[in-house]
Amino acid sequence: MPIKRVIAIIVASVLVFISVGVNSLSYIFTRDFNSMFENLTAANTGYEELVIEQGAGRDRIAVLSLNGVIQDTGGGTLFGAVGYNHQMFMSQLFDVLEDPTVKGVVLSVDTPGGGVLESSDIYDTIRAIQIEKEIPIYVSMGGMAASGGYYVSAPAEKIFVHPETITGSIGVIMESINYAKLADKIGIDFNTIKTGPYKDMMSSSREMTKEERTMLQDMINDSYERFVDIIAEGRDMTTAEVKKVADGRVMNGRQAIEAGLADEFGKIGDVIDAIKVDHELENATVFEYSPMDSFSSIFGVKVGNMFGRDVESELIAKILTDHNAPRMMYLYGER
């Protein structure tokens, strides 16, 4: 066999061996890294109990915080758990439901509302806690507890507000953007293939028909009536009394008390003191659920420190988690 052919075979064999080795190592390291990353970021939905006030005995009061837009975004992003985490909050509610030592709940609410389904999830679980455990739930409203924020607060035994709290906004909204005229002006055509006349209802590429608007309005009205009924039941009001202020208007703390939608002025400390006195829980331990540190949350903090959390991180999270399809919302002020 010519020496050149032997050398070529050897070189080819070496290249094949190197290629197989590199691919194998790449697979191993990639798999291990992905597994490690998944394990690190899995803790993003974890939390632990943090004692606020140590009491005597076994009775405990749980303080739950509902902050941010009520929307299930799947448990956060690589940039950390920015804002509300629906899965985590629901897990906390279920922990309260199953914990025999919890004798009272203080719900701190600071949200403009959010999704109809997510708000309903929270409301249903709060009612289950009240019915099955027969324990009091008090609400402390922060700067904003509007629309879905009020929806989840309505069943509480007492609602406390700050004079500057923005609440109300009782109603349902569903929006889409129609840029058909703009597209026509700049020469963009839309090719739509559908199985029925209403399959692209609320499409951004055409005008909505009267029939479609009627269908959607009827659907939204159902959600609105459920909202009104929940408030009427929770606040011991008639539906007529609720509908006097259930026109989408917002109100401050004073107006909410005068309208029968809230009970007293008070901050979170006042609410904790009130539930203790009202229900003989003076010796109870007060605790809250605190998110546990994770790779994604630490990374998110670092990104937040570098670029600022207030606007930039919220915008990044919104871009990564927003859904394009129109949906019904119990939401105030989000455009």
Chain-centroid distance, C-alpha 160: 22
**pLDDT (0 to 100) of residue 334:** 55
The residues, any chain, with a CB within 8 Å of residue 54's CB and separated by 6 or more, are 285
pLDDT digit string, tens, across residues 252-305: 999 999 999 999 999 999 999 999 999 999 999 999 998 876 554 555 444 445
Mean model confidence pLDDT for the chain: 84
Residue 199 annotated as catalytic? yes
In this prediction, residue 112 carries a pLDDT of 96
Confidence category of residue 13, pLDDT binned at 50, 70, 90: low
pLDDT tens-place string over residues 152-189: 999 999 999 999 999 999 999 999 888 888 888 999 88
Q: What pLDDT is recorded for position 17?
A: 54
User: For residue 14, what pLDDT is reported?
Assistant: 54
Among 65, 108, 140, 147, the one annotated catalytic: 147
User: Is residue 208's pLDDT more than 90?
Assistant: yes
Per-residue pLDDT at 143: 97
CA distance 255 to 274: 22
Dist. CA 1–CA 46, nearest whole Å: 67
**Set 199, 244, 290, 302: catalytic member:** 199
**Is residue 243 over pLDDT 90?**
yes
Whole-number Å distance between alpha carbons of 31 and 258: 60
Q: Looking at per-residue confidence, does 241 or 325 come out higher?
A: 241
Q: Determine the pLDDT at residue 291.
A: 85
Please indicate whether residue 147 is annotated as part of the active site.
yes
- In angstroms, rounded to a whole number, what is the distance separating the alpha carbons of residues 285 and 53? 6
Q: How much is the pLDDT for 19?
A: 53
Which residues are CB-contacts of 6 (< 8 A; sequence separation ≥ 6)?
Answer: none
The reported pLDDT for the residue numbered 41 is: 43
Question: Given a cut of 90, is residue 58 above it in pLDDT?
Answer: yes
| Cβ neighbours for 322, distance < 8 A, ≥ 6 positions apart | none
